[in-house]
Amino acid sequence: MRAVFILVLIALCAIVFAVPTPNGLTVSFFDVGQGDAIFIQTKDGVELLIDGGPDSSVLRGLGNRMPFWDRSIDAVVATHPDKDHIGGLVDVLKRYDIGTIVESGVSHNTSFTRSFELGAQSENAARILARRGMRFMLGEDVYADVLYPTTDVSSLKDTNAGSIILRVVYGEVEFMLTGDAPLSVEKSLLASYGEKLQSDVLKVGHHGSKTSNVESFVTAVNPQYAIFSRGCGNSYGHPHETVVALFEKLKIPTLDTCREGMITFVSDGETASLRH
- Residue 218: how many other CB atoms lie within 10 Å: 25
The answer as to whether 16 is a domain residue is no
**Distance between CA atoms of 186 and 213, rounded to whole angstroms?**
7
The answer as to whether 275 is a domain residue is no
pLDDT in the model for residue 66? 96
Question: Per the structure, how many domains does the chain have?
Answer: 1
Mean pLDDT of the chain: 92
The answer as to whether 42 is a domain residue is yes
The answer as to whether 159 is a domain residue is yes
DSSP conformation letters of 117-169: HHHHHHS--EEEE--TT-EEE-SSSEEEEEEE--S--TT-S-GGGG--EEEEE
CATH code for the domain of 36: 3.60.15.10
**pLDDT tens digit string along 229-275?**
999 999 999 999 999 999 999 999 999 999 999 999 999 999 999 98
The answer as to whether 274 is a domain residue is no
* Single-letter residue type at 172: E
pLDDT at residue 3 greater than cutoff 80: no
The answer as to whether 276 is a domain residue is no
* Domain carrying residue 113: 2-11+21-269
Phi, psi dihedrals of residue 81, rounded to the nearest 5°: -90, 35
What would the mean pLDDT of 107-128 be, rounded to a whole number?
93
Strands 25-29 and 263-267: antiparallel
The answer as to whether 31 is a domain residue is yes
pLDDT in the model for residue 275? 87
**pLDDT tens digit string along 191-224?**
999 999 999 999 999 999 999 999 999 999 999 9
The answer as to whether 132 is a domain residue is yes
**pLDDT tens digit string along 158-172?**
999 999 999 999 999
